[in-house]
Amino acid sequence: MPDVLYINGRFTTTDERVLGVEDRGFLFGDAVYEVFKFLRKTPIFLAGHWRRLERGLRAIEIPLPWDESSFASTMRDLLERTACDDGIVYIEVSRGEAARTHFYSDDMKPTAIAYSRRYTFPDAAKKARGIRMITQRDVRWRHCDVKSVNLLPNAMAKKAAQRAGVDEALLVDDGLVREGASSNLFAVLDGRVVTHPLDEHILPGVTRDHAIALARGRGIPVDERVIAVNELHSASEIFVTATTLGVMPVVQIDGRACGGGTRGPLTTDLQRALDDAESREVAGG
């Protein structure tokens, strides 16, 4: 069944081919994207996803196709037209379409698309079982704080993980942990939750922000600092966060068990707290 598709102010379905061959998102990766989760046709943490999209577009000087109010209205309209109750919405805004040249006009009209897709989120068994990772060298560009569509290094790292029979790749730069190929990483070290600070090396994750707030709300100290790879061996728990994963325990990295190879109590508590926060979003409509 085709998904609902929004393109530049109108709705259609993903059966319709809508992008021109000279759209700069296609030719240059000159675009920013966003993904949010919806449950019972209710967007989850939509304001946080808007803020990240807005920051990314401003950072690479693409005009905003919406303000926050029209963005929220458009996304809710899209979800009303969606056949499934639970899933994800993918959004992409490119600089627009023009004759192929590296230089671009300052008055280009952006291309804005969004479409819904059914998605099966991790169940209780998966949340308890956790994931395994391998380390991969981080060869991404130095503006990882912008959620651009330039994801070739991430895709190659993910493929390496798949070939190794694991779930995710942990990107490492000169012995320093950055983040997962599509997730943010946290380690519990001496009773403190530690994660990479917000800078050009990592994406500012919406679920990351909620995990930090939930931990601090429980009186758990959180340090935002760089983690050395060898510190992971002494972590009592490791977990990642992402829109499609929530809070997910990491039980193995490069074949070595993390935190005894099982989900830890702090990770379990944060999983439940995030589930509760999402339930409140749904209840609030």
Residue 55, classified by CB atoms within 10 Å of its CB into exposed (0-12), middle (13-18) or buried (19+), is middle
Q: Which of 127, 147, 158, 159 is catalytic?
A: 147
Q: Give the span between the Cα atoms of 196 and 186, in whole angstroms.
A: 8
Rounded distance between C-alpha atoms, residue 274 and residue 282, angstroms: 13
Per DSSP, 262 falls in state S
Closest CA to 253 of 242, 237, 264: 237
| 10: number of Cβ within 10 Å | 8
To the query of whether residue 147 is one of the catalytic residues in this protein, the response is: yes
The answer to whether the beta carbons of residues 267 and 234 sit under 8 Å apart is no
How far, rounded to the nearest angstrom, does the alpha carbon of residue 282 sit from its chain's CA centroid?
20
DSSP 8-state secondary structure symbol assigned to residue 117: E
Residues labelled catalytic: 147
